[in-house]
Structures are given as structure tokens and as C-alpha cells.
Amino acid sequence: MTSRKNNISPNGRCTLVGAGPGDPELLTLKALKAIQAATVLLVDDLVSDEIVAYARPGARIVHVGKRGGCKSTPQEFIEKLMIMAAREGENVVRLKGGDPFIFGRGGEEVEHLQAAGIEVHVVNGITAGLAAVTSLGVPLTHRQHAHGVVFVTGHAKPGDAGTDWRALADTAFKAKLTLVIYMGVSGAGRIQDELLTGLPASTPVAVIQNASLPTQRHITTTLGQLATALGESGLASPSVIVVGDVISGVAAAGEFPQSAPAQFRAA
């Protein structure tokens, strides 16, 4: 404990680090260096133990569970911990699954840290939506099938109406967009019904759970069968739902890449 304290600078700092989708080999070099330099790490539930193991000996590791549908550490408490540790001169790393600025509440944390006068940096990570489709051997954009991509959350905060799925479906159809839906499993039935107002029932869909990990599983189906296929597959959070014609190649192939283990397929 004494040696660790002696290595702390008088003015602490905080770095929001994206740990990527889970596979330790998908960490960026910058993320790895930040983890190894940290004296305090505040770690989300979706960050694997293999990644946490890169922390320096003597670093203080605090698990601050943040997972949809589960009991979570209050955001205000996490922000307070970061500010307190930084003011004590610690080199704080807030280690998040995926990318801190894609549904990771990184923007809120940066605002609170800067308001408290704390030096803050951000290290990007590979977001789960990108890793998920890559594991199936398909792109998010394609000159013929998808002219763009939309990352959208399927989980609205209390009191918020959330995404206008009807408007999004109409835009996706007209502009040929791929939809990547985070935290949408619990509301898949409602999302399906709303998207069907603007997208054909035959629109290809993939659902990928635990993207990039040995426990990854997925299904391919159509928008019209999404809720039924999900129920039959048993897939749960954390999963990403990908809607769009880019998935048609996977569904038509009949076989899936070897890099995506324990696969499922639904009609």
C-alpha cells in the first residue's frame, strides 16, 4: 500500500477506457497501457476477468456493476468515487465494455468530471454492435445493401418515451440503413411491431449474444419472426439485434463462420 501511494502524482486524473466487446485481444494498445498504468480501476460487469488481469500489481479494483435488467451501482455513486479518487491523486481508469461514448454514459461522466476540475481523457474501444456482425462475416455497410448504419438503444430511461421506432423504420427503408439495436431483447416484441410499420416482414435480422466471447451464440431470422425466434432460442442480454439486408448473406449461406461458436438458427 505504501509503495503504491508513493507512486501517485499530486494531481490525479481519470481516463474512460473502452474494453471492447469482451475478447482481450480486441483491446487497443492505448487501452492496455491505460489499464496497466492505473492505480484505481472502476470496472463494469461486462468487462471480462482476462482484461482486468492486465491491471498493475497493487492497483485497487472496484467492481461497479452496470448491466441492463440487473441491479446496478447508482451512476451518481460511480461519479462520486471517480472524483474522490482523482482528488486524492490517483490515476483512475473507468473501465467500460465496448466504447465509453456508445451507450456507455461516458458523456455524462466527462461532464461531471470536468465540472469538478478533474483532468479526463477517453480511450475508444470496439463497440459490441460492430464486433457482433463482424463475427458473422458480414459488414454493417455495403454499397448495394446498406448506405449507412444507425446505433440505437432499445432501453429508454424512466419517464422517457424512447426511440420513435415507426419513424426510424420509415427512414431505414427509404435510406437503406442497417439498424443496430442495443439493450433491445426485453422489448423485442414491441420493437418488432413498431418496425413492421415501415420495414417488410421479410427483412433479415440477426441477434448476437456475448459477441466475441467463447460463449457467443446467435440466431438469424426475419423481422416478422423476431420475437418468436428469440423466445425459442433462449438468447438473453447482453445481446445485439441487427436489422437489415446485410444479414441476408448469413441467412442464405446456411452455415456460419467458425469464429462464432455455439450457433443457433431460426426460420
Distance of CA 255 to the CA centre of its chain: 26
User: Cell numbers 438503444 correspond to what residue?
Assistant: 153
Residues pairing with 149 in the sheet: 178
Is residue 5 annotated as a catalytic residue, yes or no? no
Active-site residue among 23, 82, 99, 183? 183
Is residue 82 annotated as a catalytic residue, yes or no? no
Is residue 44 annotated as a catalytic residue, yes or no? yes
User: Cell numbers 467492481 correspond to what residue?
Assistant: 63
Grid cell of 225 as nine digits: 419472426
Active-site residue among 1, 33, 44, 245? 44
Distance CA 24, CA 242 (A): 23
Q: Is the distance from CB of 61 to CB of 43 less than 8 angstroms? A: yes
Active-site residue among 66, 82, 96, 99? 66
**Mind telling me the catalytic residues?**
44, 66, 183
